[in-house]
Amino acid sequence: MNIFEQAAHVSERPYADITIGEQALLVKTITHEDIEAYAALTGDVNPVHLLEDFAKHTMFKERIAHGMLIASYISTVLGTQLPGKNTIYLSQQVSFRAPVKINDTIRIVAEVTEKRDDKKMITLTTNVYNQFEKVVVTGTAVVMKLT
């Protein structure tokens, strides 16, 4: 299925059906191809992300993923699962707690913490964990649900 077909299959949920405490998650293993594609797309060619010889002399001792690449998967959860279709991002606060390395498997969890009915705004905690259940990103998102 191509990306356009995938977009056509994103489910629609009315604002009224979304409840406080509801969660959605995404699991993704980060590959060197992901990091290289992100660097090519954004122009962020910081050598700690791309050059093993450079990265081994840093505090991380190996290449790490771009923090914003990891944070971008939060958008995936919000736009495709919770709240899903017709979601408009208003703000995102992120705090990077630990590096994500090549072949790490991350779990992105979004949880509804607040709803503002007059504007159909939803606040969610947006945390990312690695395969060892270590928190690598914490955050809060505010979105508007158009329907």
Q: What is the pLDDT of residues 86-115, one digit of tens each?
A: 999 999 999 999 999 999 999 999 999 999
106 within domain boundaries: yes
Q: What is the dihedral of CA 41, 83, 88, 3, to 10 degrees?
A: 40
pLDDT of residue 13: 87
Mean pLDDT along residues 27-47: 98
CATH number for the domain including 123?
A: 3.10.129.10
User: Is 99 a member of any domain?
Assistant: yes
Domain span holding position 138:
22-29+65-145
Write b or e for each residue in 83-107: b if 16 or more Cβ atoms lie within 10 A of its Cβ, otherwise e. bbbbbeeeebebeeeebbbbebebb
- pLDDT over 70 for what percent of the chain? 100
Q: What digits encode the pLDDT tens for the residues 42-84?
A: 999 999 999 999 999 999 999 999 999 999 999 999 999 999 9
The DSSP bridge pattern shows strands 87-96 and 23-29 to be unpaired
In a domain, 105, yes or no: yes
Provide φ and ψ at 105, rounded to 5°.
-105, 120
Instruction: Decide if 42 is inside a domain.
Output: no
For position 112, what pLDDT does the model report?
98
The pLDDT score that the predictor gives to residue 9 is 83
* Encoded tokens for 138: 């914490």
Give the number of domains in the chain: 1
pTM of the model: 0.93
The helix (H) or strand (E) run that includes residue 14 is none
Tell me, yes or no, whether 87 lies in a domain: yes
Element (H, E) at 143: strand 135-145
**Is 100 a domain residue?**
yes
